Structure 1
Amino acid sequence: MRGREVEARSGARSGRAGPVRFKSIPRDPSSQDDRNRTPNQPKWQPSRSLPSKNRTGRQRPSRRNRTRDRIDFEQRKRQALDDVATYRVVSMRDLVEHSFGGNAFAARKGIDALKNEGLLHEHTVRVKSGKTFRVVFASQKGRRQAWGSRKNDDQRYWCGLAKPSEIRHDAAVYRAARSEIAKLAKAGATVKRIQLDYEMKSRVSKIAEKARSKDGGEAAFLAKIEAAKQMHLPTDGDGKIHYPDARIEYEDEQGSLGRVDVEVTSGNYRSKGLQAKLSAGFKMYANGNAAKQRIASALGIREPKSAGGGKGGSR
């Protein structure tokens, strides 16, 4: 299942949403050959990537091999555990692609090893159409190990599954977030922390309840709004707080801190909520074609026809 992104081109922080466009979440094209390779079939490499000889007559590894050699198998396992515990649930396909460079065989070996150590669990999800897909989530032991290897003391880790009805959505959040992280990496930025909506909602709720127990309901409402303001979360006129599914905090090449708020939408989103999140600068990803059409309809957008479709289509 491939999500789609809705990205504001203008008016993203104004009172109304500007023109938007849809695009597929990019996947790493270099992973396709490894995913389809059989155990006994050697990796295919184009002739331009074949090892060349330097002046001493020794062979130099290709650029692709040099990149992969920099990440050893144990490091890939640690990255897989960290990703799963950070995002709570990750689809097997996405974990293969992002943590194991698209190599399904290395991924299977690594995930099985993590499962045998009691760090990860694997679960099969069946959707309404009858199709199934596999997801991975951390155990209590896995969460503790990820925490012990953390690079940021503020990073929170998770274990167990959320509601069964939310697994498909939560798995899509990882895919959308990785798409944004790839853009940040290309720009030279470093990710410092990932926050999920669970964490942000819990923080605001604790602040509001503390104020309620001390000064009553009105104080709780005001405390909630102030907490949202401090956390840079948008609110509407009724005091409703709009939480992103994931927040990516990063540091750019100049040392400045920034954040990207990611939202994965479904077909039941209301236009008002969508416009509020677009205006706040959220990166919106439509979870499937039905969600894409629903969002386009709610915002009064006519989707462009594909190339070659209708009159005047280009070849």
Structure 2
Amino acid sequence: MDREMGPIDRQEMNRPGTEPDQAPRSVDAPSRDRRPMLGRNYAYFLSQAEMETMKDIGRFRTIALDDLAQIRYHGNQGQNSEDLRSLQDQGLLARRTIWTGGRQHQFTVLVLTEKGKALLEQEGQHLGQQKVYAGFVKPREVHHDAAIYRMYQAEAGKIERSGGRIRRVVLDYELKQRVYRPLAKARAKPGALGSAEYAKAQAEVARANQLRVVHGKILLPDLRIEYDTANGERAHVDLELATHHYRGASLRAKAEAGFKMYAPQGSLGGSIPYDPEHVAEIFSF
């Protein structure tokens, strides 16, 4: 568990040879050597690999345990279990098991604690402009939110294979803050709703956030990936996770908003009726 720092801890932090390894390493193979790290009056012992795991969990807020083991740890259950145990023992990580199908199936997800989030934000070189989150979302949203990590992997792979470089990811939580706050101010004006002035304010907010107004609403994607193209140009792609609840009208609106839609392979089945006006392709992952 984490503990209060004492004089010996501080000496250990400053002892020659305890500085992080400055030699370049592969992004896919971060160091597994644990080193002392000073938090808010606590000493933690973390490896670069564990910090990268925390960053993944924090930037997506919720990740399924099985997905993390398969994707970040390439199926190495031993390393996955060791790192998660260390992070959880130090109070930086929490897990929760959700039961579905009348408690016949369990689904374990991982989130950062507030301590874990604070430590990541303190180590600014790990984040840049990337926002991170802590705590569990509503249980009914866990499956949807956890699937966003897999959707990201599918699209990020395409970007990187074309020579692009991922800068950061933006969840709908962040976009809601950017959009809803200025709109709330615009709505607070007498007679604002339905007025030309409000429509103008709405269009300006959408344009400022590179979003679109569709049928009187600013639609928000589940995930935005910001990246540099192979030519060094800034770009982004907005992704939406389609579920079996989607119908033709919903898909058309998302397509008009310019979102690229994904769905877990086989998850939609025949639940979405054919609509000749719906021309958006749904990618699987």
Query: Normalised by the size of structure 1, how large is the TM-score?
Result: 0.68
Question: Given residue 116 of structure 2, which amino acid in structure 1 is its aligned partner?
Answer: G
Q: Is the 8 A contact 1:196 1:245 kept in 2?
A: yes
CA distance in 1, matches of 2:267, 2:149: 20
Q: Distance in 2 between matches of 1:165 and 1:288?
A: 21
Shift of residue 191, structure 1, vs aligned partner: 1.0
Matched position secondary structure for 2:80 = helix
Aligned to 1:140: 114
Do structure 1's residue 278 and structure 2's residue 237 form an aligned pair?
no
> Which sits farther off after the overlay, 224-233 or 166-175?
224-233
1:245 to 1:160, Cα distance in 2 relative to 1, 3 A: same
For 1:169 and 1:76, locate their aligned partners in 2 and report how far apart those are by CA, in whole Å.
Answer: 26
What SS does the corresponding residue of 1:289 show, helix, strand or coil? coil
SS at match of 2:244: coil
Shift of 1:289: 3.2
**1:160-205 deviation digits (Å, cap 9, x = unpaired):** 1111100000000111011111221222211111111111112111
What is the aligned partner in structure 2 of residue 193 from structure 1? 168
CA distance in structure 1 between the partners assigned to 2:31 and 2:128 by the alignment = 25
Provide closer, same or farther for how the CA distance between residues 288 and 68 of structure 1 changes in structure 2, counting only shifts above 3 A: closer
Please state whether the residue corresponding to 2:270 is helix, strand or coil: helix
With over 3 angstroms needed to count, the CA separation of the structure-2 counterparts of 1:177 and 1:292, relative to structure 1, is: farther
Identify the residue that residue 90 of structure 1 maps to in structure 2.
Answer: 63
Cα separation, partners in 2 of 1:265 and 1:150, compared to 1, 3 Å: farther
* Aligned-partner Cα distance in 2 for 1:121–1:190: 30
Task: Tell me the distance in 2 between the aligned counterparts of 1:199 and 1:250.
Answer: 17
Q: 1:299 aligns with which of 275, 278, 283?
A: 275
Asked if the contact 2:169–2:225 (Cα under 8 Å) also holds between the matched residues in 1, the reply is yes
TM-superposed CA distance for 1:122, in Å, is: 0.7
Identity, % of aligned positions = 32
- Deviation of 1:143 after TM superposition, in Å, equals 1.1
Specify whether residues 174 and 105 from structure 1 end up closer, same or farther in structure 2 by C-alpha distance, changes over 3 A only: same
Looking at structure 2, the residues matched to 155 and 214 of structure 1 have their Cα atoms a distance apart, in angstroms, of 34
**RMSD of aligned residue pairs (Cα, Å):** 2.4
2:202 aligned to which of 216, 224, 234? 224
Residues 174, 84 of structure 1: alpha-carbon distance in 2 compared, 3 angstrom cutoff = same
Counterparts of 1:184 and 1:158 in 2: how far apart (Å)? 24
Q: Relative CO higher for 1 or 2, CA cutoff 8 Å, sep ≥ 6?
A: 1
Cross-structure match for 1:71: 30
CA distance in 2: counterparts of 1:107 and 1:225, whole angstroms: 46
Do the aligned partners of 1:79 and 1:99 also contact (CA within 8 Å) in 2?
no
* Residue 168 (structure 2) pairs with residue 209 (structure 1): no
Instruction: Give the CA deviation at 1:148.
Output: 2.4
Quick check: 1:105 aligned with 2:78?
yes
The residue type equivalent to 2:233 in the other structure is S
Residue number in structure 1 paired with 2:5: none
Structure 1: distance between partners of 2:28 and 2:131:
30
Partner of 1:29: none
1:286/1:292 contact within 8 Å kept: no
Residue aligned with 1:106, SS: helix
Contact kept, 8 Å, 1:138 with 1:160, in 2: the verdict is yes
Residues 64, 146 of structure 2: 8 Å contact kept: yes
Distance 1:298 1:160 in 2: 39
Larger CA deviation: 69-78 vs 134-143: 69-78
Residue identity in the other structure for 1:158: Y
Alignment CA distance shift 1:298-1:140 (3 Å): farther
Moved more, 141-150 or 164-173: 141-150
Gaps of 5+ in 1: 1-65, 302-315
Which of 154, 164, 168 does residue 129 from structure 2 map onto?
A: 154
For residues 286 and 69 of structure 1, do their structure 2 counterparts lie closer, same or farther at Cα, with a shift above 3 Å needed? closer
Q: How many residues align?
A: 234
**Counterpart residue number, 2:95:** 122
